[in-house]
Amino acid sequence: MRKAFDAPIAQGSVGQGTYSAAKGSTACESCPAGGYCEEVGADSSAVFKQCDPGTWSDVIALRSSDGCIPCGQGEYQPISGATSVDACLPCGPGTAQPLVGKGSCDMCEPGRWQGAEGATACEVCTTGAWCARGSSAPTPCASGKVGLSMGLTDASECEACPPGKFKSAGAGACLDCAVAKYADEEGSS
């Protein structure tokens, strides 16, 4: 743990980043890592304030919240009082975080997806598939159906192939029936 810079303090006073819990103390106690003590003349550890979720500090005797270090983009940190950068975690698939110093990641909105960890943005759902809220991958339209635009949010937005065309599962577009074959119903596969 690192120690914050200590400016000279007059004898008998308690400076920022420290407290004195006992009457007649000859020394001040340093506020622990993971937070800060802003008050001068503090008489108990109750003045200790933890760094907010999304931030951390390994400094002992920190004097203000300015010393709490924010986690980076694509990361989150859900607890108060973290004492290490290791508390910053990558956003999981289906989520992203474009900002620094956040306590959680944002779920991908419907019509968007993200398959990687530590992402700062979600991708628009591809043509031929749909993406529910929090998707970690596009979901292909079912056999006999096709997604004609990007950003579909539900399977019901996939459209049936017209008569004379078909689509297999996983295929991207409705295809024409081969010579000597036909599909007389919508949604043929």
The pLDDT tens digits for 62-95 are 888 999 999 999 999 999 999 999 999 999 999 9
**Tens-place pLDDT, residues 116-163:** 999 999 999 998 899 999 999 999 998 888 888 999 999 999 988 887
The answer to whether 56 touches 75, Cβ cutoff 8 Å, is no
pTM of the predicted structure, to 2 decimals: 0.74
Nearest to 35 by CA among 55, 52, 50, 17: 50
pLDDT of residue 3: 54
Beta-strand relationship, 2-3 and 18-19: unpaired
The answer to whether 20 touches 43, Cβ cutoff 8 Å, is yes
C-alpha count within 13 angstroms, C-beta hemisphere, residue 89:
13
| Residue recorded with tokens 């004195």 | 20
| Residues with Cβ within 8 Å of residue 108, at least 6 apart in sequence | 94, 95, 96, 114, 122, 131, 133, 134, 135
**Tens-place pLDDT, residues 102-128:** 999 999 999 999 999 999 999 999 988
Residues 2, 21, 39, 53, CA torsion sign: positive
Partners of 76 in the beta sheet? 89
